[in-house]
Amino acid sequence: MEHFLSYSGNSDNFADKITINKYTQGENETKVNTNVLKSKNILEIVLSQKDYNYQILDNKEKSNFIIKKSLELSSFLDLNYDNYNYNKKKYSKSMICGTLQGVNNLSSILFYNDYYNVNIVICNEVNSILKLYKTGIKNYPEYLFIKYDNNQFTHMDQESIENNFSSVLELSGDVKDPKYTLKDVINMDIKDNMIYNLFLKAISNYKLDDIVIIAKENNIDLMSNGKKKNKKTLYDEINLMKL
C-alpha cells in the first residue's frame, strides 16, 4: 500500500490558522478568549469539531496530527471499504485511499461524511445571504457547516436548516460573483456525489406502475404539493431510502 506514503512530503503549513480575539463582558464576568480556527484544509476543520485528540493538542503539534490522521483514514478505508456499499467503478478503494492524503478533494469529503456520520455543508456568505452546498446525499442527524472565505475555511454555527441547499454540481451561483461554483473552492475530482450501489436497477428496467408499487411497499408518499410524483422522483427517493 505504497500510496499511504505519498503524503509524507507535504509541506503545507496548516498551523497558520488561529486568530485570537479577547474581550471582557463585564467587571464581574469572566474574561473570554474566542479562538477562530482558519485553515486551508477542510479536514482540519472537521477534526476541530469531531476529534478530541486533535482538540487537546498544542498548535505546533497539529500539522503532524493532520498528516497522520489522513494516513489513518486511508488505512481504515482500506480495511473497511466493503462495509460502506460504495460503487467500485465510481468510488474505488485505491482511488479514495490515495485522495484521502490530499487536500479538499470532493471524494475525500464524501468519505468524511460517512466516517464521522455528519452532513458536511460548505458555505459562503455575501450580503447576509448564505450559499449552502450539502456535499453528501445521505441525511445524517448532524450537520457540519464549514464556511469558505478568502481561500480559508472555518467552522460556522448554524442553528436552523431550511434545506435550501445548492447542488454540488451547480454550474453557476450568486456568491461574490455570478461565476462562483463549488469547483472554485474544492477539487471536484469525481463526477457526482452518488457514490453508492443503488437498490434499484437502472430506471429503464421499470414501468411507472412498478416504481409506484415499490414506493408503496416502502411507505413513500406518492404525492407532493397536491401533485403526483413522477417516475424519476419516486425512483430517486426509493434509492435514497435504501442507502
Per-residue pLDDT reduced to its tens digit, 130-151: 778 899 999 999 999 999 988 8
**Which cell goes with 50?**
469531531
Assess if residue 191 is contained within a domain: no
67 SS3 class: helix
CA 231 to centroid of chain Cα atoms = 28
Q: In what order do the strands lie in the sheet with 118-126?
A: 129-134, 118-126, 142-149, 152-155
**108/68 same-domain check:** yes
Assess if residue 190 is contained within a domain: no
- Residues of the chain with confidence (pLDDT) below 50: 1-33, 175
Instruction: Give the Cα separation of 36 and 18 in Å (integer).
Output: 6
Assess if residue 192 is contained within a domain: no
Assess if residue 171 is contained within a domain: yes
Instruction: Give the Cα separation of 62 and 67 in Å (integer).
Output: 9
Assess if residue 194 is contained within a domain: no
**66/140 same-domain check:** yes
Name the nearest CA neighbour of 96 among 108, 84, 112: 108
Instruction: Give the Cα separation of 239 and 200 in Å (integer).
Output: 6
Strand blocks (E) in the chain: 18-24, 31-37, 118-126, 129-134, 142-149, 152-155, 223-224, 227-228
**52/110 same-domain check:** yes
Assess if residue 189 is contained within a domain: no
Instruction: Give the Cα separation of 189 and 152 in Å (integer).
Output: 19
- The number of folded domains in the chain is 2
pLDDT number for residue 179: 53
pTM to 2 decimals?
A: 0.79
* Domain with 141 in it: 2-184
